[in-house]
Amino acid sequence: MQSIEVPKTKRIVLIAHDNKKEDLVEWVQLHKETLSKHHLYGTGTTGKIVHERTDLPIHRFLSGPLGGDQQIGGKIVDGEIDVLIFFWDPLTAQPHDPDVKALLRIAVLYDIPIANNRRSADYLISSDLLNTSYRRTRIDYSTGLPIY
């Protein structure tokens, strides 16, 4: 069976649309101690703001509209991202909506846990799986079966 080892120390991506950045920063501040035990990543502006306001180290990709969402999607495909926390704004059209949709599609295809708002992020961060290693299987979408 082809399964992927998800390490104890997770690789967590933090993304937020402009109207949700403050909400994400507040959430990160609330969970700073837990998040400090993991590797954090973010799109350009979000990563910069979260780092400045929390002092947590964050590897930054490009800004979402400049290709950051696509860079993160590539890291998911390469097995280098374990959790996606993306506070998106459902009420504001984004110029890079196709990139956002592609990122969410890739995360679902590769069975990456996704939180899209504060409550779902609370559920994710309180999961026992966040601080333990586990295995996840990949689906072969041409057959609909787990890859063995």
Q: Give domain status of residue 109, yes or no.
A: yes
pTM as predicted: 0.91
Residue with tokens 């890079």: 96
Residue 63 is assigned to a ligand binding site: yes
Predicted confidence (pLDDT) at residue 122 exceeds the cutoff of 90: yes
The answer to whether the beta carbons of residues 24 and 51 sit under 8 Å apart is: no
Residue-wise pLDDT tens digits, 43-78: 999 999 999 999 999 999 999 889 999 999 999 999
CATH assignment of the domain containing 72: 3.40.50.1380
Q: Give domain status of residue 66, yes or no.
A: yes
Q: Which residues pair with 111 in a beta bridge?
A: none
Residue-wise pLDDT tens digits, 80-115: 999 999 999 888 877 778 888 999 999 998 999 999
Predicted confidence (pLDDT) at residue 133 exceeds the cutoff of 90: yes
Round the average pLDDT of the chain to a whole number and report it.
91
Q: Give domain status of residue 148, yes or no.
A: no
Residue 31 is assigned to a ligand binding site: no
- Which of 16-25, 89-98, 106-115, 135-144 comes out lowest in average pLDDT? 135-144
Q: Give domain status of residue 115, yes or no.
A: yes
Gap between the Cα atoms of 15 and 20, Å rounded:
9
Residue-wise pLDDT tens digits, 69-80: 999 999 999 999
Residues marked active site are found at 69
pLDDT band at 3 (very low <50, low <70, confident <90, very high): confident
The tally of domains found in the chain comes to: 1
In this prediction, residue 147 carries a pLDDT of: 57
Residue 137 is assigned to a ligand binding site: no
Q: Give domain status of residue 143, yes or no.
A: no
> Where in the sequence is the domain holding 15, given as residue range(s)?
2-138
Residue 68 is assigned to a ligand binding site: no
Residue 45 is assigned to a ligand binding site: yes
Extract long-range pairs of 134-138: CB within 8 Å, 24+ residues apart: 134/6, 135/3, 135/4, 135/5, 135/6, 136/3, 136/4, 136/6, 136/111, 137/1, 137/2, 137/3, 137/4, 137/111, 138/2, 138/3, 138/4, 138/110, 138/111
